[in-house]
Structure 1
């Protein structure tokens, strides 16, 4: 038996180079990985062992005159009588960018169609779009012709549909908390009698028949202190300046956020909406992550969120009739919203999951679709409900 020493040396060289490459990647990533792991350990320790959120709430409390800065923007578009003299089951605000007219039209034609909801589901749901300004009035002199045209298009769009609520602050990611405050203040002054309030992004799909049925059942039971969605517990502030969600220490110095629901979509009862409104009157809203600010307000008022397994996480829900039968929301839908609406509301969906065989079939399908590693939209336990 003869050994090819040249081949052995070549294999050894490849192994050494591969090992060096792997070590280099690990060394580059380790600092970031280590920082992420440590921050989550600290956050969970703070959340479950220390948990001094009461102190956090006190430290963020400011005088009403100072807090009014975050809400005293003038309305550019408004419909104060939208809910007047109506028994509103749900007031649903969609957070939208002024330029996303196609997304708004898709929502109006599908799950946000008020006429369909009234005629088919037999309840009143008011769907409004919350917007900031492309350019604020304070900067009118620097407005470009395209900005002026966009605002004219918004006025025309609102004249046609009557569903845009716009205030005079710059519409941007860092002003999302201002947009959240807009919604709660509008409900308090113009639609406080609505039984439930929901906020959603404009790339969310809402299975309106399932949601209405769910809320009608809750309303018949007189539910209060209700806040439901995809809950984040023990989430740490992100300190990496490269992240979209970077929060500097000066803005929020503690190790963990209070519990909150993902801002993509959640539902609260009217009494909780009123509590959030009053909390916003005295809390510092400079923290621009709106769902975290919602958690701070709720914690200050003694309200805790509850998980609902069919409120979407970060990704899209699987496209299958057994999923549509129970889904409430799904995230990341723009181009496919028309097709999804048609498929999800097809009468055959309920027939597929009916009866003993149908339920068993759908359980197997949902286990296959949901109980996969790194799947984030619905948890595995949703397959057994």
Structure 2
């Protein structure tokens, strides 16, 4: 009898230890929006950073799977290249998602040729039953939500991005390109599809492109949003990476990045981790295009918004205002002098630069 009890307890331990590890790590951070500054840093040297524990690569972990999102349109017999836009969003950011649906997500298929564009919001879970019921209702209404089974918190953004790779690998293997972005971003889908339609870009199988960060030094200030303790990363600089506010990955590269991520210790800065550390392990070099921006452009300059692909930090009312302006048929941008953006040549990292945090809280380069 005692032997059977010991076996039972051992089996319970095997099942529950990974769950408890995940819950312990996740719930130490409060649920919050994508842009929130991280609370007190909760990782310690004894925290498990084995990504496979949290991702469970062989298991279905999604609460809301939305597995038919990438299914082909039977009414269109021509096979179009597929662009999937994944918007990482927090459970409570309902207004942000609604604003996106009413603005850049509403671009019609005739304006995105030759791409078939699908957009989905990726959420984590909430411990609030009322909020969870709201998420289920929102999903049933719009059919554009994926929800994974981890607590939605700032320090879980890396986990969210890897879950994105897992979902795409499983349910959207035919995708040509994936754009990862956040719910406070303006995305110019028309310009994005024009950019990806270029012959030298569309054939790429190894593309990671966005706003490139070169030779960034880890921040050792424990009060910083981008704090990086030595036990988590001990090199002097990060591998070159692109800003997590918006970047494109070639579809065939998604499973490669996912498989490599399973062998890289989890690191909490998702853009550094996915497009820098993991990409380096996969022998992929991230690239720059000035059409992608991690800063907020003036919302009073709609002509600029007609040219760029991404702009950061727009609240729902700003997003609606910009959208209305750029779609005004009376808007004439022919005589407007725009900043030097959209250079088709990719920039390579060649200047030493350090990432600094200004008093305003913005990231910027010095060097």
Q: Shorter-normalised TM-score: what interval?
A: 0.7 to 0.9
Q: Please give the alpha-carbon distance, in whole angstroms, between the structure 2 residues aligned to 1:270 and 1:206.
A: 19
Shift, 1:127, TM fit: 0.7
Aligned to 1:185: 166
Larger mean CA deviation between 269-278 and 214-223 belongs to 214-223
2:322 to 336, 340, 343: 340
Matches within 5 A, 1:197-208: 197-208=178-189
Contact 1:230 1:309 in 2 (8 A): yes
* 1:377/1:89 CA distance change after superposition, 3 Å: farther
1:301-332 Cα shifts (integer Å, max 9, x gaps): 11111111121123334532441342111111
TM-superposed CA distance for 1:229, in Å, is 0.8
Task: Summarize the Cα distance change of 1:214–1:345 in structure 2 as closer, same or farther, 3 Å threshold.
Answer: farther
Find the aligned partners of 1:220 and 1:331 in 2 and give their Cα distance: 24
Aligned residue for 2:247? Answer: 266
Note the 1:47-66 alignment, pairs <5 A.
Answer: 66=50
| 8 Å contact kept, 2:188–2:306 | no
| SS of structure 2 residue aligned to 1:263 | coil
2:63 alignment counterpart: 76
Quote the residue 1:42 is aligned against: none
Match of 1:290 in 2: 270
Q: Distance in 1 between matches of 2:169 and 2:192?
A: 23
1:101 to 94, 97, 119: 94
TM-score (structure 1 length as normaliser):
0.69
Which runs of 5 or more residues in structure 2 are unaligned? Answer: 1-47, 74-79, 341-357
Report the count of equivalent residues.
287
User: In 1, Cα distance between the equivalents of 2:363 and 2:300?
Assistant: 12
Matched, 1:249 2:230: yes
Distance in 1 separating the partners of 2:94 and 2:70: 23
Against the structure 1 CA distance between its residues 192 and 317, is the aligned structure 2 distance closer, same or farther, given a 3 Å change threshold? farther
Could you tell me how far 1:283 is from its partner in structure 2? 1.6
Indicate the structure (1 or 2) with the bigger Cα radius of gyration: 1
Pick the structure with more helix per residue. 1
Structure 1 stretches lacking a partner, 5+ long: 1-61, 136-146, 368-373, 380-385
- The equivalent of 2:144 in structure 1 is 163
| Mapped contact 1:94–1:199 kept (Cα < 8 A) | yes
* Superposed counterparts of 1:110-125, under 5 Å: 110-113=103-106, 116-122=107-113, 123-125=115-117
Q: Pick closer, same or farther for the CA change 1:321–1:244 going to 2, 3 Å.
A: closer
TM-aligned CA distance change 1:362 to 1:289, over 3 Å: same
CA distance in 1, matches of 2:200, 2:232: 38
* Alignment RMSD: 2.7
